[in-house]
Chain A
């Protein structure tokens, strides 16, 4: 059975994929459906949902279109989540590979640095970093990656430690290959599968961290974010709860979708590896 067929047989994986597809569709279609600035005033303030069909989800305290903000928020969440996870996986793989392959002092130093990063809670690290450097999309991505790369680094190192004893690494040395070329061309690609298996959890966590940062007012101020929307709605939680509930639901569904689809992919491909 092909991995795709096996994936399609898991209802939770399919549900995750559908949620994820909806999120991607929202993110991609935002500029076409809402060509204007999502942060611009679009109508009267605090218009409830389903009243005016040109503003289906109503408006917030400043009269901004909630649906447009939701779509643009999907863009931010997805962009930050994917970029931060990619950065964390890249940093982690490189650090883990160097530590595991070089061994000795290099390994010792790199792993102590990893320990140091791991003792500080990731969110605190991100918070401190953004407060010091200032909020912008790039900084938020780096801040989240700083708190997440240690997990992939440890997994990559463990994998590299077992791979570097294989004959083909000795073969590469005998052929005269440079140690860095051996580490990154021969060893790293073969150490990646278990590292990549962590991506669904990492992307989901990154999306949540981004939301939490923008909820605290540390997101990019020039972009619509779900965290920022929830924070905005908090002031009128009693009279207009939908302002917080709508982005909150979007966030939960997104994290759920990423996680379920990611786990589905990992499981179906892992089964295939196990069988072959």
Chain B
């Protein structure tokens, strides 16, 4: 059974009198433990899909089924509770955290909200989470602006896995990191997927990264699906015009190809 099934999802925005469809009748699915990449040029609707799937914005039409339930039918406390299973990692790890928070507080929030651990046990759980993402436990009392960008993205991943989700949406989660750190974070994500069978909706404009990490890919253009299929097949031999253009524009990809 599919973990996530998105069907006929549509989101329109009104801009200067006329309506544009940021996401136009899009359908896709993700299986448990699978990585589905969303790729496409800027403004093609990738982030809008992420926000729709996370119920941060509401669609104009379409269905989202998550873990066998109608995800769009949930509201209030039921929705908040279900959110434990569907987490997100943002692009800019500094903007994604309350500037006043400490590492410990950021990791304490999900444990407290979802009643995962009693207060007395939480410091231990926080230390374990930090260790799980390859950080030292003594980072916990630090303010969020006192750690490096790579460490921050690890904290973001720790926060996302705190509630044992089955799906994590990563919107350009490694794009802001420099290349060596990016490799380490991707390694961590793959490792988590292997051990916890977490599925990823992986949004990236970097086809090199997509080819390395994703099982399947959906290429978007102007809110519509231009092409989809096995990640390597699509990226090695794109059929659509936008696919060819994206591959041609990916320098790292060209270097690694024979």
Contact = CB atoms under 8 A, between A and B. Distances in A.
Given A166-B95, A167-B90, A167-B95, A174 B100 contact: no
Interface in B74-111: 80-81, 83-84, 86-88, 90, 92, 95-100, 109-110
Contacts, number: 55
Contact of B98 (A173, A178, A186): A186
A161 B97 CA distance: 17
A171 B96 CA distance: 6
Given A190-B99, A190-B100, A178 B80 contact: yes
A103 interface: no
5 contacts: A168-B97, A171-B97, A173-B56, A176-B83, A189-B100
Contact of B54 (A166, A174, A189): A174
Q: Which 3 A-B pairs have the closest CB atoms?
A: A176-B83, A176-B80, A167-B95
Given A174-B87, A176-B80, A176-B114, A168 B98 contact: yes
B249 interface: no
A176 B81 CA distance: 6
Given A168-B97, A170-B54, A176-B110, 4 more contacts: A175-B83, A175-B113, A177-B109, A178-B113
Given A178-B80, A190-B99, A190-B100, A171 B90 contact: yes
B63 interface: no
B159 interface: yes
Interface of A: 166-168, 170-178, 186, 189-190
Contact of A174 (B56, B92, B99): B56
Contacts of A168: 95-99
B74 to A, nearest CB: 11
Contact of B110 (A173, A175, A178, A190): A175
A178 to B, nearest CB: 7
A172 B95 CA distance: 12
B4 to A, nearest CB: 15
Interface string B241-255: 000000000000000
Contacts of B84: 176
Nearest to A171: B96
Nearest to B97: A168
Main secondary structure of the interface of A (DSSP, over half): helix
Contact of A167 (B81, B83, B92, B100): B92
Contacts of A175: 83, 87, 109-110, 113, 159, 163
B90 A176 contact: no
A22 B195 CA distance: 67
A71 to B, nearest CB: 40
Nearest to B100: A189
Contacts of A167: 90, 92, 95-96
A151 to B, nearest CB: 24
A203 to B, nearest CB: 25
A10 to B, nearest CB: 28
B38 to A, nearest CB: 17
B56 A190 contact: no
Nearest to A170: B56
Contacts of B99: 168, 190
Contacts of A172: 98, 109
A177 B113 contact: yes
A168 B91 CA distance: 11
Contacts of B110: 175-176
A81 to B, nearest CB: 29
Nearest to A181: B113
B145 to A, nearest CB: 10
A172 B110 CA distance: 9
A253 B156 CA distance: 52
A174 B56 CA distance: 8
Contacts of A174: 54, 56, 83, 86-88
Contacts of B113: 175-178
A175 B80 CA distance: 8
Contacts of B96: 167-168, 171
Contacts of B98: 168, 172, 186, 190
A186 B96 CA distance: 12
A42 B235 CA distance: 96
Interface in B25-57: 51, 54, 56
Contacts of A178: 80, 113
Interface string B142-163: 0000000000000000010001
B161 to A, nearest CB: 12
Contacts of A171: 88, 90, 96-97, 159
Contacts of B86: 174
A190 B95 CA distance: 13
Contacts of B109: 172, 175, 177
Interface in B171-228: none
B89 to A, nearest CB: 9
